Structure 1
Amino acid sequence: MQLNRETIIDAAISILNSYGLADMTMRRVAKQLDVAPGALYWHFKNKQELIGATARRILAPLLDGTGADGVDKQGAAATCAQLRDLMISHRDGSEVVSAALSDAALRAELERKVSDSLDVADEVGAFTLLHFVIGAVLAEQTQHQLQEFTGDEENTEDEIYRERFSTGIKIVLAGLDALGTIR
């Protein structure tokens, strides 16, 4: 096996999905790859950079997705739902994405993706939607993990979370629409 950024990210995602973000350490990634921790630093300056690369991998279908004409045509609700689904598909996915937003380029790219999906591009609206999605998924993932830890299976239906999420998106979009007509 050749050590490169992709194999390191693969190992990080494997650890993330099995144990969570707290256990996705450089030392643990190195151990999984059977290399010395220092070998990882040839590819990533630090754990924060690895978290950013991991978030980009998780979000790749959204960040890279375009229609047949090269332009992504999905609306804001669909964009937010896709973002939710991508984060939900990985344990602590929302924490990884949230932590990666310290990278100004990734944050701007995500906000632009959300802004482009709005009927009228709106930076504040994109910021609000992005942070609503991350917060909603963080709350959902935390609740699932708590229920898993305590053995309480009550209200773990994904449909309940999906419905609340969808309603929240509608509320934010209605608010943005109302603000647009007031201005």
Structure 2
Amino acid sequence: MALSLELITATARSLLSQYGLQDVSMRRLARELDVAPGALYYHVPSKQELLRTVAQEILDPLLDEPGDALALMLRFRLLVLPLRDAGDLLLLAYALDTTLPPAQLLPQRLREAGWAPAEAEQTTAVVMRFALGALATEQNQALLQPAQPVTGRAPGAPQAMAAERIYRHGLQRLLAPPR
């Protein structure tokens, strides 16, 4: 199979889910693809850009997500939470590209709910920082306590259920229409 950005991205995503973010390196990726590390740079200029591309692939399903701002951000959590180290990956990716979904969708959803354009943009920045931090924290807590499920949906997992309540409560506060 010919080396392509799609193959590189899919392999990086597989390494991420198998080994975690710390073990995704250009050398390891090249070994996995049985190519010289330099061959990767023909398709992707840097590891940072590779991680941004992986994040974009993970988040692409949100582009078709119906509903209001709250529904979008709840779907974001459900999409990201089960993926190992995705919270940390997205923190890096958003530092590089603040237009990744759902950030590119959120201002429009807020304007449709009656928010002024400037307020919608500012609130999007706040909501994204809250959501990214909450998800990264929840995933890292789950990694530190392996007996706790990462999905936040299993019965009998009080820490995960508390994290879901905190996330929802925070979003409801942040997305409440301005007075």
TM range (shorter): 0.7 to 0.9
So what's the TM-score if we normalise by structure 1? 0.82
Q: How many residues align?
A: 166
Q: Output the amino acid matched with 1:115.
A: P
Distance, in Å, in 1 between the alignment partners of 2:164 and 2:148 is 20
Distance, in Å, in 1 between the alignment partners of 2:73 and 2:158 is 21
- Provide the residue aligned with 1:17 in structure 2: 17
Distance, in Å, in 1 between the alignment partners of 2:8 and 2:160 is 31
Structure 1: gaps spanning 5 or more residues: 67-72
Contact between 1:87 and 1:93, CA under 8 Å: does it hold in 2?
Answer: yes
Distance, in Å, in 1 between the alignment partners of 2:39 and 2:158 is 41
What do residues 9-46 of structure 1 show as CA deviations (whole Å, max 9, x unaligned)?
A: 11101110011111110111111111111111110111
What do residues 38-73 of structure 1 show as CA deviations (whole Å, max 9, x unaligned)?
A: 1111101110010110010010111x316xxxxxx4
Distance, in Å, in 2 between the alignment partners of 1:102 and 1:167 is 25
What do residues 76-114 of structure 1 show as CA deviations (whole Å, max 9, x unaligned)?
A: 1111112112221311111111111233xx413543311
Distance, in Å, in 1 between the alignment partners of 2:91 and 2:100 is 14
Q: Which runs of 4+ in 1 moved over 4 A?
A: 151-157
| 1:1-183 correspondence runs (5 A) | 1-62=1-62, 64-65=63-64, 73-103=66-96, 106-110=97-101, 111-118=103-110, 119=113, 120=115, 121=117, 122-148=120-146, 155=157, 158-174=160-176, 177=177, 180-181=178-179
Structure 2: gaps spanning 5 or more residues: 150-155
Distance, in Å, in 2 between the alignment partners of 1:140 and 1:74 is 25
Identity %: 33
Q: CA RMSD in A?
A: 2.0
